Structure 1
């Protein structure tokens, strides 16, 4: 890893504060088992009451999905199961009979939106709504991102396999052994470390783009997917300790950039960890690619993580995860981003509290990724 690339990354990080409205943020880069860059700047709130440091915790929305998927994969593996196991073998009431866990984790089961009302806080209610749902499509008929239902889809099998919540198993089997300051269900003792989130603002042209046009149209799949299960729709709600402590595996993770980057070191096999080769391969191997029925653009998914989609010739159509076709990770709504690249041994994570209007990583993080691999 060249010093010049790290210098370029730092220049982008600082430019974000000068010209892109950054308030508080951290970035961490690991390479072949060592953290080679950790920097933090700014404030935890606009009133400038607490300086932002590398130890600041912040909610990362869907960047939680990678750690959550790893937890389910580890629980499956411990019982002799894996991605090819039929979901109904663990969860008999699952509504898609032909689905495997690979289908479930790569957004192929057509359960992104629920017809039955259910509150995001009530796991049993959400599970009942999932079991009653007629799938919008089935495995082999395409894919569409499950932004919110993904949480119960991974939580229920973990509970059935282990008798524990996913957040508790994450701490026990992965986070604590690796010393990760990342929680899916934040204990009260850590609440004082959490920065305040601020929502992004929409420009008129943003609202006319494919995804946001669908998202802002009543009754569309995109709008329904981001609206079910119900609750926790505003950034203000995400600033409530109830959200931090709820342990929602789709979007409830709270942690540091360093912890997320170290997790992806484990996911690419750059450090010794509880994630064995089968789990790592599942996290990194592409399962599906093509037009996303929810995000209204091409996406690609492994078992729980995202990759850059490829064109017909095998070239990346965008580089959110760097140039390597084997790199994978997951963004979070508003800007958080994390990835691992098994080819180079690099992992990266960026977290912040001034959100942008984005479902995929924005320029603040993508420019840092490009600098890192330049």
Structure 2
């Protein structure tokens, strides 16, 4: 987040964030000094000081948490860009174009829900909030010396550090989190551009490496793909391992609609590396047919790295066959028939039946099923 110098953004050459830090620091110092002076007037000053510091810290943490929720930045949606414009940007022809990916907004949504819940509950329960505050102050008064003015001092201490915590949490989130997210987005876009340039020059391995780096910067589900690879590498082959891997696929399928990913992102994730990434991409395609990229599905059926991967590709194809462009029906049919008579499909009754279902849907598009049945 850029700091504006001069005008309303600064005073006397100091940026706004420095003024904010000084103001918060001064208020916190004044509150701690007040606590110290108050503790010296009590019968057990160290006990009162310790209790007061604990109360102040708790209030600051509570206020800071609320400030964080209110300060979470909102991703700006890209407008007016299409696939052609995107490819131009990635190829370097149009450097000003926006990236193809969108930010995952789950954190924003949680922030919105919680802030609305807090505000709504506060407005509808004002009386209850007042009663709870009075009960809390009555409980705090003995730990702050039990003096006649302990209750008043507790109220001032809690209010001071609650507000300071809120302002600190809000400012730090606004000043630091937005910059960190923007920096990650810039790194991801640069990696995507580099990957496209390497792909244009024929360096497929280098392009895949930069795509993976971009996806890590965007927080895409690399960890889940690595979990799959770890299970396949460490567990012996057999039904238990297949069931564990299928559980990961089912979880990915169910989360597909909430990931905020685009079809291009999922395709890049498929092309970026190991079998785990390919499986995870296919699972996302199963959960949301709009994420299907048919070149990936064809590749996973014809050049699958395992029977399990080919099975997931068939599920994705059956899920989205009703969306397959008519011009690609012949290609899918040829791919399936070739595997049906000599690939992994021919070795499994389940995969063979699924293939026959897809071929039947290609022959009779009106009868295509819109979603895969549970596995």
TM-score, normalised to structure 2, is: 0.22
Bigger CA radius of gyration: 2
TM-score, normalised to structure 1, is: 0.22
More strand by proportion, 1 or 2? Answer: 1
Higher relative contact order (CA 8 A, sep 6+): 1
